[in-house]
Amino acid sequence: MRHVISLLIENESGALSRVSGLFSARGYNIESLTVAPTEDASMSRMTIVTTGSDDIIEQITKQLNKLVEVVKVVDISEAAHIERELMLTKVRATGKDREEMKRMAEIFRARIIDVTDASYVIELTGNQSKLDAFISALDPALILETVRSGVCGVGRGDRILKV
Amino acid sequence: MVLTGAEIVIRCLQEEKVEYVFGYPGGAVLYIYDALFNQDKVRHVLVRHEQAAVHAADGFARSTEQVGVALVTSGPGATNAVTGIATAYCDSIPMVIISGQVPTAAIGQDAFQEVDTVGITRPCVKHNFLVKDVKDIASTIKKAFYLAKTGRPGPVLVDIPKDVSMHKCEFEYPKEVSMRSYNPVVKGHQGQIRKAVQLLLEAKRPMIYTGGGVVLANASEQLTKLTRMLGYPITNTLMGLGGYPASDRQYLGMPGMHGTYEANMAMHYSDVLLAVGARFDDRVIGDPANFAEEPRKIIHVDIDPSSISKRVKVDVPIVGDLKDVLEEMIRQLEAAPARNNADALGTWWKQVEEWRSRECMKYKNSDEIIKPQFVVQKLWEVTGGNAIITSDVGQHQMWAAQYYRFDKPRRWLNSGGLGTMGVGLPYAMGAQLANPGTQVACVTGEASIQMCIQELSTCKQFRLPLKICNLNNRYLGMVRQWQQLFHGERYSESYMDSLPDFAKLAEAYGHVGFKIEKPSDVEGALRDAFARKDDLVFLDFQIDQTENVYPMVQGGKGLTEMILSAEDL
Ligand SMILES: Cc1ncc(C[n+]2csc(CCOP(=O)(O)OP(=O)(O)O)c2C)c(N)n1
């Protein structure tokens, strides 16, 4: 089962490698991992998308909690939550493809944020499946490069992860 | 007071009441050694290899309730220390390791004797720090000691670049530590404890299974009281030996791969199993699927939530300090109404006694050739069961665990988790320094002892009157046993030719050496050795080369599928 784990961790050098090292040492999957400081710069927030049986997820959260620098851990996918991911796609945009690309961006409510006479960079935000759908809707031959941020997540309503 | 970083390090150790630091100098720690030179509160034990420094500090910690401290230089000093650190980590031993690092400006430049010590040790420490500013030394060392000894204990490494140890700042040792990210649980959950006590009172085939956690938490007194109140059978794991007195009738011996028949059967067929500070390790329960086949309710008390439901599903998890939880259990038991499982308990004990009557620890002694079990039994007799026994890894370790009866905690020091050959001698050094009046013996094998044999020199320098009992079978015995049983008797590289004359070797280091070849000489040699109060005596027992450790549960098999003796093969 896919799970989205959010955690707050002290913003110390090496903190990220403690988390990634834990996953590799114990053979846990990481589908994506994002990290950046929070409004309190002494702390970072990480979102980890992982898969595993209930037992494994239980171990993952326990092991994460055991790391000395980890302040709090929540499996946000246990209840209502929102996930978003950002994708930048550079596509070939010449001739009739130029109009077609614009149309596709509109359908997916994406934005074209860079334009040259031969290419566009399209910015799209959404959950993973929306991003996947956009990619598969494009002609692969026209995709020059894509970059995805990995998933960010937050619980709905009064489910708040804060110290 | 303005001090250098190095002076601050030493002042911190003084504040932590550290008596001994085990270490080895080098370029990156020269300032720290200089600061050590100018004082006499913290004593330094100069080992002959950094691995032994960490093991000795670890042995010091295991035999006391204190944090062990080691000091090593950057690069090779730190890498040599890694085996020691990993060994301590696997057995949750509280330690602080201070390592020197190249100057901050040189970090990342592939400088001479530079390794990423924090990176290399990250997976085998409870936590580690790189101190980049002299102002942070005191607070970091304070945190290191706090982390090492609270919660589930473990080794903490502090890496200090050379320039940081040279810079100066005002010294003040923090009185307290507060870390928002680290708040170990102490009190067990009341409701869970109530549930556990209820289950224990209703049990028909109860069993108590305890591990190293009981020793680490200094909770043997509470465990003993609770076990006697309940009147249930109990087993202590390899790491937990001495947690409950081994000579008591309720004690069934060690469980697991080389445990007793009665302990394993009682574990397997219990209907309520109380696990305290133990972790259902593969060497203890064998195949988890086989173990899970028998329905039983499991109560698991542990300081570390991640130990619970890791290998077996637990019905009543209780996270907390063992001493605290056991005390609460005792309180609730005292207030509980009379038990109504007395009949069932009688039947269960009858069953347990029947298992015990198989006498699985019996072995055939000989008049001609020295049996290792006999040596350990004699060692127990000669020391009155009061010695601290350290061991290495292999058959001798199992024989020591099986035949020396430990009635008190912190008397048995061995590498249970990592299984590191070479720990025996340095553990004995640490234990002897920590317990000057106590007899300390190291039960080892001719292969293991050679992994840290250079420490005989340290023992001479510090006048440590250890008794080393080398169960010399001229084989990597445990490897040979597995090859005999599971690899068609193909003894690939398990025979060691060209062994030294250990008695002479000990003499060369300035000690006393005996070579013992006849069973009739065993006791006399031991008595002679222990009578030499000031000497280290190396007793080289020439034992039966092909003796195997029984009983045995093969790796991957279940607890009920035991080989009791060679006849079962
Ligand atoms: C550092 C290390 N290397 C290898 C092993 C694997 N190993 C386990 S027991 C053993 C043989 C030990 O021989 P010895 O010390 O003579 O003890 P015996 O089993 O003969 O009593 C070996 C090689 C280990 N545990 N530790």
Nearest Cα to Cα of residue B75 among B36, B24, B31: B24
Q: In chain B, what residues touch A66 (CB-CB under 8 Å)?
A: 304-306
What is the per-residue pLDDT across B200-240, written as a single tens digit (0 to 9) for each?
999 999 999 999 999 999 999 999 999 999 999 999 999 99
Condensed to tens digits (0 to 9), the pLDDT of residues B152-209 reads 999 999 999 999 999 999 999 999 999 999 999 889 999 999 999 999 999 999 999 9
Domain range holding B38?
Answer: 2-170
- Whole-number pLDDT of residue B186: 86
- Are B164 and B58 in a shared domain? yes
The span from the CA of A25 to the CA of A23, in Å, is: 6
Q: What is the DSSP string of B381-418?
A: HHTTT-SEEEE-SSHHHHHHHHHSPP-STTSEE---SS
CB B98 within 8 A of CB B24: no
Q: Are residues B331 and B444 in the same domain?
A: no
Do B201 and B304 belong to one domain? yes
Closest atom of ligand 1 to CA, residue B481: 19
Instruction: Please compute the mean of the pLDDT values over residues B438-461 and round it to a whole number.
Output: 98
pLDDT score at B554:
87
CA–CA separation, B126 vs B63, rounded Å? 20
Domain count, chain A: 2
Q: End of a domain among B136, B170, B204?
A: B170
For residue A124, the domain's CATH number is 3.30.70.1150
Contact B206, B272 (CB under 8 A): yes
Ligand 1 geometric centre to CA of B433 (Å):
26
Cross-strand bridge partners of residue A51: A2
For residues A60 and A97, membership in a common domain is answered with no
Give the pLDDT confidence of B454-494 residue by residue, as tens digits: 999 999 999 999 999 999 999 999 999 999 999 999 999 99
Nearest CA to ligand 1 atom 5: B421
- Asked if A14 lies within 8 A of B118 by C-beta distance, the reply is yes
* pLDDT above 80: residue B569: no
- Distance CA(B21)–CA(B57), nearest Å, equals 7
CA distances B494 to B73, B222, B446, B480, B532, Å, are 35, 44, 12, 6, 35
pLDDT of B516 above 90: yes
- What percentage of residues in chain B have a pLDDT greater than 70? 100
Residue A161 lies in a domain: no
User: Would residue B352 count as lying in a domain?
Assistant: yes
Q: Could you give the CA distance from residue A30 to residue B108 in angstroms, rounded to a whole number?
A: 28
Q: Quick one: how many helices (H) and strands (E) in chain B?
A: 22, 21
Whole-number pLDDT of residue B568: 80
CA of B55 to the centre of ligand 1 (A): 17
- Distance (Å) from CA B394 to ligand 1 centroid: 5
Nearest to A21 among B123, B182, B304 (CB): B123
Whose CA is closest to B302, among B282, B287, B324? B324
Residue B386: pLDDT over 80: yes
The yes-or-no verdict on residue B50 having pLDDT over 90 is yes
Question: What is the structure's pLDDT at B548?
Answer: 97
Q: Can you give the pLDDT at residue B550?
A: 96
Q: Is residue A11 part of a domain?
A: yes
- pLDDT by residue for chain A (163 residues), tens only, comes to 999 999 999 999 899 999 999 999 999 999 999 999 999 999 999 999 999 999 999 999 999 999 999 999 999 999 999 999 999 999 999 999 999 999 999 999 999 999 999 999 999 999 999 999 999 999 999 999 999 999 999 999 999 999 8
The answer to whether the CB atoms of A68 and B119 lie below 8 A apart is: no
Indicate if B270 and B300 belong to the same structural domain: yes
pLDDT of res. B556: 83
Count of CB atoms within 10 A of residue B486's CB?
Answer: 10
Find the CATH number of the domain harbouring A64.
Answer: 3.30.70.260
- Catalogue the active-site residues of B: 50, 112-113, 162, 478
**CA-CA distance, B502 to B431, in Å (whole number)?**
23
3-state SS of B212-254? Answer: HHHHHCCCHHHHHHHHHHHCCCEEECHHHCCCCCCCCCCECCC
Contact list in B for residue A14 (CB cut-off 8 A) is 118-119, 122, 130
**CB–CB of A71 and B181 under 8 A?**
yes
Nearest atom within ligand 1 for CA of residue B399 = 21
- Cα of B254 to ligand 1 centre, how many Å? 21
Q: Are B279 and B259 in contact (CB under 8 A)?
A: no
Nearest CA to ligand 1 atom 20: B477
Measured from the Cα of B496, ligand 1's closest atom is 16
CB contact under 8 A, A62 and B182: no
Q: Among residues A78, A106, A129, which one ends one of the domains?
A: A78
CB atoms within 10 A of CB B111: 16
CB B482 less than 6 A from any atom of ligand 1:
no
User: What mean pLDDT is reported for chain B?
Assistant: 97
Q: Are residues A74 and A89 in the same domain?
A: no
Domains identified in chain B, total number: 3
Q: Which residue has the tokens 């927030």?
A: A45
Tell me if A53 sits within 8 A of A1, measured CB to CB.
yes
Whole domain around residue A93: which residue ranges?
82-152
Q: Quick check: B213 and B325 in contact, CB under 8 A?
A: no
- Under 8 Å between Cβ of A120 and A103: no
Strand pairing report for A70-75 and A81-92: unpaired
What lies within 8 Å, CB to CB, of B505 at 6+ separation is B453, B456, B513, B538
The predicted model scores a pTM of 0.97
Mean pLDDT along residues B532-550: 97
Tokens 């998890």 found at: B317
Half-sphere exposure of B159 (CA within 13 A, CB side): 26
